[in-house]
Amino acid sequence: MLQRLFGRRNPHPEAASRLYEAAVRQAREPVFYRGFHIPDTLDGRFELISLHVFLILHRLKDQREQTDELAQALFDTMFADMDRSLREMGAGDLGVGPRVKKMAQAFYGRIAAYDAGLAAENGRLEEAVRRNLYGTVDDPGSAAVAAMSGYMRRQADILRGQDLRHIAAGQVRFAEPATQSASES
Mean pLDDT for 100-128 is 93
| Confidence tier at 132 by pLDDT (50, 70, 90) | very high
Mean pLDDT for 107-117 is 96
Please tell me the total number of residues recorded for the chain in this structure: 185
Mean pLDDT for 27-42 is 93
| Confidence tier at 13 by pLDDT (50, 70, 90) | confident
Query: Computed from CA positions of residues 145, 59, 75, 123, in that sequence, does the dihedral angle turn out positive or negative?
Result: positive
| Nearest-angstrom CA–CA distance, 51 and 104 | 13
Identify the burial level of 54 via C-beta atoms within 10 angstroms of its C-beta, where 0-12 means exposed, 13-18 middle and 19 or more buried. buried
Q: Side-chain half-sphere of 141: how many Cα atoms within 13 Å?
A: 12
Closest CA to 51 of 69, 38, 63: 38
C-beta of residue 22 within 8 angstroms of C-beta of residue 174: yes
Q: Please report the domains of the chain, with CATH numbers, ordered by start residue.
A: 14-168 (1.10.357)
The residues, any chain, with a CB within 8 Å of residue 68's CB and separated by 6 or more, are none
Please say if the pLDDT value at position 160 is more than 80. yes
| Confidence tier at 142 by pLDDT (50, 70, 90) | very high
Measure Cα distances from 49 to 6, 16, 25, 104 in Å.
32, 14, 9, 13
pTM for the predicted model, two decimal places? 0.88
Phi/psi at 174 (nearest 5 deg)?
-100, 145
